[in-house]
Structure 1
Amino acid sequence: MANTTSAKKAVRKIARRTAVNKSRRSRVRGFIRKVEEALAAGDKEAAQNALKAAQPELMRAASKGVVHKNTASRKVSRLSQRVKTLGA
């Protein structure tokens, strides 16, 4: 357990950051899920709209350090590829 004042403050700060990051990660997962559901339903229009909404959310999470930049890029790339092949 934290003994010093600075260590106690660090624990509080970490708890706050963890809560914010958890919220952001959850939000990103929700956006990705909407794209996945549209893909599963075979609705290309809905999938494109969901992807358009999910992409900035993923990149925002990457810029905030919630997910790695390459991970966000990979997810966007793979989702867009799946949306693209849906109509073909």
Structure 2
Amino acid sequence: MANTTSAKKATRKIARRTEINTARRSRVKTFVRKLEEAVAGGDKEAAKVAFTNVEPEIMRAVTKGVIAKNTAARKVSRLSARVKAMA
């Protein structure tokens, strides 16, 4: 358990940031799931729309430090390939 005042404050900050980061990660997963459902359903237009929504969401997660840049690039690349494969 934290003893000093600064350590107690740090644990409070960590708890807040964890909550925010969890929400951001969940938001990205939701957008990715919508895209995957569109791809699985075979709906090209819905998949394209979902991809245009998911890409900026993933990149926003990168700028907020939730996921790493290369991880995001890999995810976007693979999702893009799946959307292109439908055509």
**TM-score category, normalised to shorter length:** over 0.9
Q: Which residue of 1 aligns with 2:62?
A: 62
RMSD (CA atoms): 0.4
Structure 1: tracts of 5 or more residues without a match = none
Residues 22-59 of structure 1: CA distance to partner in whole angstroms, max 9, x if unpaired?
Answer: 00000000000000000000001000000000000000
> Following the alignment from structure 1 to structure 2, what is the Cα–Cα distance between the partners of residues 55 and 46?
14
> Following the alignment from structure 2 to structure 1, what is the Cα–Cα distance between the partners of residues 57 and 6?
34
Question: Counterparts of 1:3-22 in structure 2 under 5 Å?
Answer: 3-22=3-22
> Following the alignment from structure 1 to structure 2, what is the Cα–Cα distance between the partners of residues 79 and 44?
13
Q: TM-score normalized by structure 2?
A: 0.98
Structure 2: tracts of 5 or more residues without a match = none
Structure 2 residue identity aligned to 1:4 = T
Q: TM-score normalized by structure 1?
A: 0.97
Q: Which residue of 2 aligns with 1:2?
A: 2
